[in-house]
Amino acid sequence: MHGVASDLRLVWRQFRNSRGFAITGVLMLPFGVGATTAIFSLVDGVLLRPLPFPQADRLVTLGDQVNFANWGKHEKGTVTPPEAVIYERELHSFSSLGVSGFGPPAAIHAARMTPSVFAALGVMPLMGRIFTRQEYTRHAQVAVLSYGTWKS
């Protein structure tokens, strides 16, 4: 106990002699704790928590990989909604297949989707209905709004 009290007196004397260092040390501690808390909150929210969909562990991202291909207007490796319809028709490995979020986000955060994306995510609208396959193939101008967009 005597050694601890002696050490604390020595620390206090050193801090008194170099106040700038002491103030810097005392102020850096809350910044370090705050930065650590912010980083953990981000990692926890993005990486550790599951997606808010039923059976989220069964969701996968589908992409095309063709060597030396010129992808033109759309992003390399993405699957377009017309391609998703072909995949859905030809592949039997998936219980449901849907496309969401193609291209850069619009000001209202819009995304092109196939009608089956809702079944793939296991969600249904709170009000109204989702668009049909016939509306999708006719390129009908149909929108499904999120709750936040509908509210605003």
Q: Pull the structure tokens for residue 144.
A: 């499904």
Does residue 20 share a domain with residue 70?
Answer: no
Does residue 84 share a domain with residue 150?
Answer: yes
> Which has more pLDDT, 141 or 31?
31
Does residue 57 share a domain with residue 38?
Answer: no
Does residue 140 share a domain with residue 122?
Answer: yes
Does residue 104 share a domain with residue 142?
Answer: yes
Total domain count, the chain: 2
Does residue 143 share a domain with residue 71?
Answer: yes
Does residue 32 share a domain with residue 63?
Answer: no
Is the pLDDT score of 135 beyond 70? yes
pLDDT in tens, 110-133: 778 888 888 888 888 888 888 888
Contact 91, 81 (CB under 8 A): no
**Domain membership of residue 34 as a residue range:** 2-48
Q: What is the pLDDT of residue 107?
A: 64
pLDDT in tens, 34-66: 999 999 988 888 788 877 778 877 887 777 666
Does residue 113 share a domain with residue 86?
Answer: yes
Does residue 137 share a domain with residue 82?
Answer: yes
Closest-CA residue to 96 (of 60, 143, 125): 60
Cβ count within 10 A of residue 82: 12
Q: What are the distances in angstroms from CA 45 to CA 25, 41, 48, 117, 121?
A: 30, 6, 6, 24, 19
Q: What is the pLDDT of residue 35?
A: 92
